[in-house]
């Protein structure tokens, strides 16, 4: 299929879960291999994100934890096919998911978007943190008051005796 | 004694309501008149439409979890208040997240 504008490839994002036993070097070699594949299809790896080890919502291949890697790349033709073939052959890959991004992919724009997104997420996280702090402080206040009440009651009891 | 009083009162009330609805409305101070019933819900707005920062993304677990019940079911539109467009996008997003084990599939427990 002809590309609408020359020089622009379509973009894809692939997330894959690898076994948590897979060493960092193993992951690195895999990533290098994937970037070679991408390069052979006249594309480039736009973004690689490591989400770290996460608990899986349900066990996959008897694994409860997995290492997530998020990859954004461009390419022509059957890049996705080749990438997925590589992932499928790898014995430490539990699962992967590829999603088509734009047909005419603008990597700079995407990176900016992603950065914005992260900033927004961070901001929201901070807000949440602040709210939690506030709530905790409030609760602590209540606790202190209750403690004081307890003390008073105790004192009364002693007096009565 | 008290119970009989109450009962007679209730009977009176019922009689009145059957006779004259308007009067019953005026008499009813408990707030359980039929006119007001069911009107307690607030108008819901789609969170994706109202908040530009709130982006629909299958990779955002925290966002996903707010639209998924504890059993892993997708919360229906009539409860979440999403607009049709975003609900459609949300379902595909949740399904993608399920595939990646970010959100669980519907479980029957145990």
- The model's confidence at residue B24, banded by pLDDT at 50, 70 and 90, is very low
Answer whether B103 touches A (CB < 8 Å): yes
How many whole angstroms from its chain centre is CA B96? 26
Q: Do A58 and B105 touch (CB under 8 A)?
A: yes
CB-count burial class (<10 Å; 0-12, 13-18, 19+) for B50 = exposed
- The model's confidence at residue B37, banded by pLDDT at 50, 70 and 90, is low
Q: What is the pLDDT of residue B36?
A: 54
Q: B103: which chain A residues are within 8 Å (Cβ-Cβ)?
A: 57
Chain segment A18-56, per-residue pLDDT in tens: 998 888 888 899 989 988 888 888 888 888 888 888 898
Q: Searching chain A, which residue's CA lies closest to the CA of residue B103?
A: A57
User: How much is the average pLDDT of B2-12?
Assistant: 58
Answer whether B105 touches A (CB < 8 Å): yes
User: How much is the average pLDDT of B79-91?
Assistant: 91
What string of DSSP letters covers A90-153? Answer: -TTEEEEEEEE--SS--HHHHHHHHHHHHHHHHHHHHHHHHHHHHHHHHHHHHHHHHHHHHHHH
- The model's confidence at residue B87, banded by pLDDT at 50, 70 and 90, is very high
**DSSP classification of residue B104:** P
Q: B57: which chain A residues are within 8 Å (Cβ-Cβ)?
A: 117
Q: Searching chain A, which residue's CA lies closest to the CA of residue B96?
A: A97
CA distance A57 to chain B (A): 5
Q: What is the pLDDT of residue B56?
A: 85
Q: Do B59 and A95 touch (CB under 8 A)?
A: no
Instruction: Indicate the SS3 state at residue A48.
Output: strand
Domain boundaries, chain A: 10-104, 106-161
Give the span between the Cα atoms of B10 and A73, in whole angstroms.
74
CATH of B47-99, one of 2.40.40.20, 3.40.50.9100, 4.10.640.10, 3.40.50.720: 4.10.640.10
Those residues with Cβ within 8 angstroms of residue A108's Cβ, 6 or more apart along the chain or in another chain: none
- Checking if the pLDDT of B4 tops 60, the result is no
Domain boundaries, chain B: 2-36, 47-99
What average pLDDT is seen over chain B? 73
Answer whether A121 touches B (CB < 8 Å): yes
User: How much is the average pLDDT of B48-55?
Assistant: 81
Q: A117: which chain B residues are within 8 Å (Cβ-Cβ)?
A: 55, 57
| Unique residue bearing structure tokens 């973004």 | A47
Give the span between the Cα atoms of B97 and B91, in whole angstroms.
10
Q: What is the pTM of this model?
A: 0.67
Q: Which of A97, A121, A123 sits opposite B99 (nearest CB)?
A: A97
Testing the interface with B: which of A12, A15, A112, A131 to mutate, by most B Cβ within 10 A?
A: A15
| The token pair that represents A88 in the structure block | 């499928």
Q: A10-104 architecture in CATH?
A: 2-Layer Sandwich (3.30)
């Amino acid at each position: 299929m002809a590309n609408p504008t020359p020089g622009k490839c379509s973009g894809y994002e692939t997330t894959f879960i690898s076994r948590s036993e897979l060493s960092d070097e193993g992951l690195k070699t895999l990533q290098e291999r994937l970037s070679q594949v991408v390069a052979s299809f006249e594309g480039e790896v736009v973004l690689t994100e490591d989400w770290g080890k996460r608990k899986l919502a349900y066990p996959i291949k008897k694994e409860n934890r997995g290492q997530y890697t998020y990859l954004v790349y461009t390419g022509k033709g059957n890049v996705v096919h080749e990438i997925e073939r590589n992932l499928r052959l790898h014995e430490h890959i539990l699962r992967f998911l590829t999603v088509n991004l734009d047909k005419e992919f603008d990597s700079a724009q995407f990176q900016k978007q992603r950065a914005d997104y992260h900033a927004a997420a961070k901001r929201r996280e901070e807000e949440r943190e602040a709210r939690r702090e506030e709530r905790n402080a409030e609760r602590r206040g209540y606790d202190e008051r209750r403690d004081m009440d307890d003390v008073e009651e105790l004192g009364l009891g002693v007096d009565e005796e | 004694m008290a119970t009989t009083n109450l009962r007679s009162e209730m009977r009176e009330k019922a009689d009145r309501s059957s006779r004259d609805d308007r009067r019953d409305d005026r008499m009813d101070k408990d707030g359980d008149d039929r006119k007001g019933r069911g009107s307690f819900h607030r108008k819901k707005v789609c969170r994706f439409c109202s908040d530009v920062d709130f982006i629909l993304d299958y990779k955002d677990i925290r966002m996903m979890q707010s639209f998924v019940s504890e059993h892993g079911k997708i919360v229906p539109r009539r409860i979440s208040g999403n607009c049709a467009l975003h609900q459609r996008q949300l379902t595909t997003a949740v399904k993608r997240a399920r595939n990646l084990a970010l959100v669980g599939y519907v479980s029957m427990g145990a």
